[in-house]
Structure 1
Amino acid sequence: METSLFAAVLKAHWKSAVAILLAAALVWWIEGLRWDADVSKLKATHTAELKKISDQSVIDLTNQKKRTEAAQTALSALDAKHTKELADEQAKNDRLRADVADGTRRVRIAAANLATCELVGNSATGTGGLGDAAQVELSGAGGRAVLDLRASAIKDEQVIKYLQAYISKIVEKN
């Protein structure tokens, strides 16, 4: 009897049931369209953000490449400058060394009183000066040793200048 009751209600209200089903399908379809529109809008926003980030990355990389190239150019010029200065000083020292070896020049060292930091003079009266300081003349081997020390000091000084300039350029770029 229940089946017949259901069938009787369905026969009496079939138009209402179909209308309810059509309304539910229409609401479902409209919500689907709205959902698709929201997802499309989110995808477009996400794509735009990714493009913006990508474009900024390209700009940043290009700028960094330019800065790196400029730094490399500056450091190359710095290296060439200091290499030339070092070569000039070494050539000068080599000429002095050759002159000492030939006997055309001699290495003299002014004697100084290290306790008072005054030059030791030849006379006991008057103030000491470079002109009247006692001098010690070195042998050829001693002169070459002094010039070797000079060459080493010059090289070390040039390396220090180069490294200081290099560090200054690096710090300046950052």
Structure 2
Amino acid sequence: MKNRKGNDMKTYLYLVRHAHSVYTPDELNRPLSERGMQDAHKLTNKLKNEQIEVVCSSPYKRAVQTVEGLANNHDILLVEGFKERLLSSHPVDDFDAAITKVWENPSFSFKGGESNLFAQERGVKAILALLEKYKGKRVAIGTHGNIMTLIMNHFDKRYDYCFWKELEMPDVYKLTFEQDKLLNVEKAV
């Protein structure tokens, strides 16, 4: 598809892993820490020249707070598909062992939790909807490390458990798409 100037129509998605947050058991309303707020401000400054046109986010407060500076006083579209994967309905005894297990067996889920396959399907469905709705735009997406990695893994298997372990808070990856085909991934900040 060509735009009015005859150039290829590419869509740029900026997947933004949220900044550091204060730990509370309330996943939905867990806010950024003071350091997280400072890092979110720095992230906004680093991305100001990217000409972001649309800002979406997981409904979780820490994800919204991380990208709100990019919204330029426009509404942030909350997308359930970008919320973090639910590992289990109850706290797990050993988080590292639990997360390793779901990555080693993508169809496995703990009681009340999401398997990698289920969470990935949810996240990819949200991505494909954005690619259709905002074709040719630059879209920032506030999200979380595990679901972000699962989405990227759908398009390129190099983005796996080891990649997730190396993500920073915050972290941004710019994905370039033509239609629903991933052309390029680059670290954006």
Which of the five TM-score ranges fits, normalised by the shorter chain? Answer: under 0.3
Per residue, is there more helix in 1 or in 2?
1
Q: Which has the higher contact order (CA 8 A, sep 6+)?
A: 2
Q: TM-score, normalised by structure 2?
A: 0.19
